[in-house]
Amino acid sequence: MSWDTVNLEWDGEIATITVDRPDRLNAMNTETLDALEAALGEAKDEGARVLILTGAGDKAFVAGADISFMKDLSVADGQAYAEQGHRVTDLLEEFPAPVIAAINGYAFGGGCELALACDLRVASERAVLGQTEIDLGIIPGWGGTQRLSRLVGDELARRLVFFGERVDAQDANEMGLVGEVVAHDQLSSRVMEMAKELEAKPKFAMQAAKESLNQVHEMTLDSGLTYERRIWSSLFGTDDQREGMTAFVEKRDPDFE
């Protein structure tokens, strides 16, 4: 399935969503956000076991929100645009399967925020990331002030936001902003390799793992531990649990549905 500015493709149960505005460095306007929201809904409804998010072309993942669109927004329009961006980043964060950001180039502003909402981030050696909004007279508005500090720590997040710094892939890796850096021409194959491995994992256990990990910043430690116990015990009696443990006892590889 495809929209004018977003493509959704399948490889088995692996869904790849590509933001396709290479002439605008895949910058996000309302139409593109609408298409991305629809694509995420489609991937979820079709039961994707892994989701890959990337950008079209050789230069950008998502270079940010479309500044030419934003520059004349009213306060009310800005509020609506922020809410639209939050809906999309929330869908990525809450997607019931692992989401991998394949960062193939520029990931500034809203593009960096899309990557932050993913579970895993793999960057091309050419990638450059940053919350660059301060020099536009605004701040991150799609979750960057919250997710960035949770990922890299408070001091570093403040530096990135206050100075609007752009960091290359290696620096982003060292600060924990991305988990892995690969050669540009190996990005797609490496991300697909990861996706294939995740696709073979037990679906319900993977969903439970993501839900539990997402609670780290939402609950106190005691509440989070209670949540973990409940989710853990609920997996007993599932096909995943029976097959995984039977395969272990029988000294063979599991064959999950």
**Catalytic residue from among 133, 197, 211, 243:** 133
Residue 70 in domain: yes
Shared domain for 244 and 127, answered yes or no, is no
Shared domain for 114 and 12, answered yes or no, is yes
Shared domain for 99 and 211, answered yes or no, is no
Shared domain for 60 and 127, answered yes or no, is yes
Burial (0-12, 13-18, 19+ Cβ within 10 Å), 101: buried
Residue 191 in domain: yes
Residue 123 in domain: yes
Its domain, for residue 238, covers 203-249
Beta partners for 167?
129
Shared domain for 240 and 166, answered yes or no, is no
Shared domain for 83 and 114, answered yes or no, is yes
Residue 255 in domain: no
pTM: 0.92
Residue 257 in domain: no
Residue 45 in domain: yes
Shared domain for 73 and 163, answered yes or no, is yes
Shared domain for 128 and 223, answered yes or no, is no
Residues for the chain: how many in total?
A: 257
Instruction: Read off the pLDDT of residues 129-155 as tens digits, 9 standing for 90 and up.
Output: 999 999 999 999 999 999 999 999 999
Shared domain for 228 and 117, answered yes or no, is no
Averaged pLDDT for residues 235-246: 87
Instruction: Read off the pLDDT of residues 24-67 as tens digits, 9 standing for 90 and up.
Output: 999 999 999 999 999 999 999 999 999 999 999 999 999 988 88
Instruction: Read off the pLDDT of residues 171-187 as tens digits, 9 standing for 90 and up.
Output: 999 999 999 999 999 99
Give the CATH number, domain containing residue 48. 3.90.226.10
Look at residue 219 and tell me whether its pLDDT is greater than 80.
no
Chosen domain end from 199, 225, 240: 199
Residue 1 in domain: no
Shared domain for 133 and 193, answered yes or no, is yes
In total, how many domains does the chain have? Answer: 2
Give the CATH number, domain containing residue 211. 1.10.12.10
Burial (0-12, 13-18, 19+ Cβ within 10 Å), 98: buried
**Catalytic residue from among 46, 94, 113, 228:** 113
* Known catalytic residue at 113: yes
* Known catalytic residue at 133: yes
Written as one string, the DSSP assignment of 183-239 is -GGGHHHHHHHHHHHHHTS-HHHHHHHHHHHHTTTTS-HHHHHHHHHHHHHHTTTSH
Shared domain for 73 and 190, answered yes or no, is yes
Shared domain for 38 and 120, answered yes or no, is yes
